Structure 1
Amino acid sequence: MLIIDRAIHDAIIDHARRDHPDEACGVVAGPAGSDRPERHVPMLNAAMSPTFYEFDSGDLLRLYREMDDNDEDPVVVYHSHTATEAYPSRTDVDLASEPGAHYVLVSTRDGAHESGPVDFRSYRIVDGEVSEEEVRVVDGYADVPSSPHESSPHESSTDQRATS
């Protein structure tokens, strides 16, 4: 399950909408070993394409050095799909190189780049196997219960659609 702060969730959606019709991409870093996405890092899609994303190699190297210096991991790797559903393509699966990361896809198709609900979905991709996982959007990590099955008044589970 991906537990993500509402402000970061909304920032990812805003980035996807802002970069439409090109795919947006980025990373959310978090403390090493925590599985907690805390620092949103929107990246430039070096491909500048509506059907493909590519991190700029120099920017990516700088980000990984920075995460190493800060004792952080890439908790979320995200990108948008501008004309298709929020499901990993074969290319997305082939490019997934962080087995511990949550791979978030946001679809801005059918006018979602302007307003209304967007598909915001998360996957684990390990050794070419794709597994969708639940996304829980919370108003702050302090309110997250220790067990993912407990409920808090400040959290909401998405049903694979989110509004922003």
Structure 2
Amino acid sequence: MLTLTQALYDRIVAHAREDHPDEACGIIAGPEGSDRPERYVRMLNAERSPTFYKFDDTEHKRLHDEMWDRDEEAIVVYHSHTATEAYPSRTDISYANEPQAHYVIVSTADTDGFGDFQFRSYRIVEGVVTEEEITVVEAY
């Protein structure tokens, strides 16, 4: 189960809506081993695409170095889908290399009238996708 503060939830949704029609992406870091998302990091979608996302390599390496120095890890890896449901694509699954992370997908398809807004979370380990419950709290 993913537990997330309302403020972090709102930032992810705002980023997804701001970058629409391109996919948005980012990470929420937290203390290593804690499963507690705390530090929101908005990332650049190097693909600048409505159908794919990829972290900018330089920005991603800098963030990982920073997390290492701060004893943090990626607790949430998020991105948006702009015209499809919030379910991992084959490409999303191939990018999932953080077994401890929650993979959040926000569908902004409703922005264009294609469907309902969705905010969903998954665990993706060795190619196996498992949807999980999300609890949004005011504070930890």
| Aligned residue-pair number | 138
1:60 alignment partner in structure 2: 60
Q: 1:112 to 1:68 in 2, by over 3 A?
A: farther
2:40 alignment partner in structure 1: 40
What does the per-residue CA deviation read over 1:24-66, in whole Å, with 9 as the maximum and x for residues that have no partner? 0000000111000000000000000000000000000000000
Output the amino acid matched with 2:97: S
More helix by share: 2
Q: TM-score if structure 1 supplies the norm length?
A: 0.82
C-alpha contact 2:26 2:78 (8 A) present in aligned 1: yes
1:107 alignment partner in structure 2: 107
Cα distance in 2 for partners of 1:73, 1:54 equals: 19
Instruction: Give the drift of 1:110.
Output: 2.4
C-alpha contact 2:3 2:36 (8 A) present in aligned 1: yes
Cα distance in 2 for partners of 1:6, 1:58 equals: 30
Q: TM-score if structure 2 supplies the norm length?
A: 0.96
C-alpha contact 2:110 2:117 (8 A) present in aligned 1: no
Identity value in percent: 64
C-alpha contact 1:93 1:128 (8 A) present in aligned 2: yes
Instruction: Give the drift of 1:112.
Output: 6.9
C-alpha contact 1:29 1:74 (8 A) present in aligned 2: yes
Larger radius of gyration: 1
SS state at 1:91 partner:
helix
Q: Which runs of 5+ in 1 are unaligned?
A: 142-164
C-alpha contact 1:112 1:118 (8 A) present in aligned 2: no
Q: Which runs of 5+ in 2 are unaligned?
A: none
> What stretches of structure 1 move > 6 A for 4+ residues in a row?
none
Cα distance in 2 for partners of 1:10, 1:2 equals: 15
Within the alignment, does 1:12 sit opposite 2:12 as a pair? yes
Cα distance in 1 for partners of 2:134, 2:4 equals: 7
Alignment RMSD: 1.2
C-alpha contact 1:13 1:106 (8 A) present in aligned 2: yes
